[in-house]
Amino acid sequence: MKAYEVVDSDGNVILETDDGCEAYALKNLRNNRLPYNMHSVFVRKNLGEHSAKVGMGITAYRFWFKDGGYAFYYVDEDTGVFQIFSDWGNYSYCWPQQCRSRGEGLLAFLKTADKYYLTEKLTMGIPERREFSMRKTLAHIKYLICEKRRGGRLDSDKARELWTWASELVNRYQVDTDHELFDLIKDHEDFTTYIEEDVSELFVYERSESLMFLRESLIPFFKNYIKDTPND
């Protein structure tokens, strides 16, 4: 098993490597070539192993990444509670009735449960939670400036002025959030006059990388680890 995998937003592995620099270089290269409305790729780091019984019907499965980071899984057979504590978020859900009605324990249930189903439950029913992307929002703004220039709405000087302004938004104005960026754009009279777009429609949100990591790495890894583990 390689230390790193470069994965797209659909869970497809693009590259497996032991070289972290190579993995992150490919991630950055692919992301920089994507249109503003495309999902990004991310680096998935494979895990080491360690587990132990902690008593009271609970088994703790503790994993550490080779270059740092952690993911701890707790399976409580008495209550039906499954918990994950990790560098990519903390998740939990309880299946007491379902485990009892199927006549099996929680561990056996987790072995056969679908990763999409588990993700939905562990994230409280919002498996497609989205997060603001500053990089793709700025790319979208520049794309609109180019479109207005091609359509004759902007002359070359005004297009260049707006392009420069958009390029300097983050570094010059020290904006970090969509709210801060919204205020800057709304107050820029030339931009709102020439672009003629609803400011709120400029912003790009994409699926949470930590949530994708939960669905495409943390859950599959754990299911693979426990598949040969006795249920009792």
Cα 213 to Cα 232: distance, rounded to the nearest angstrom: 29
The residues facing 94 across adjacent strands are: 81
- Give the CB-side neighbour count of residue 194, counting CA atoms within 13 A: 27
DSSP-based three-state secondary structure for 195: helix
Burial class (CB in 10 A: 0-12, 13-18, 19+), 124: exposed
**In the chain, domain spans:** 4-45, 51-129+209-226, 134-203
Chain mean position to CA 9: 8
Helices (H), ranges, the chain: 20-33, 96-101, 106-112, 115-122, 134-150, 156-167, 169-173, 178-186, 189-195, 209-213, 219-226
Contact (CB, 8 A) for 208 and 119? no
Chain mean position to CA 3: 19
The answer to pTM > 0.85 is: no
Q: What is the pLDDT along the chain (232 residues), one digit of tens a residue?
A: 677 788 776 667 888 888 877 887 888 787 777 665 555 677 776 655 555 555 567 888 888 776 567 889 999 888 889 999 988 788 999 987 655 555 678 888 999 999 989 988 998 756 456 777 888 888 888 888 998 888 888 888 988 898 888 888 877 777 778 888 888 888 888 888 887 778 878 888 876 677 778 888 889 889 988 887 777 5
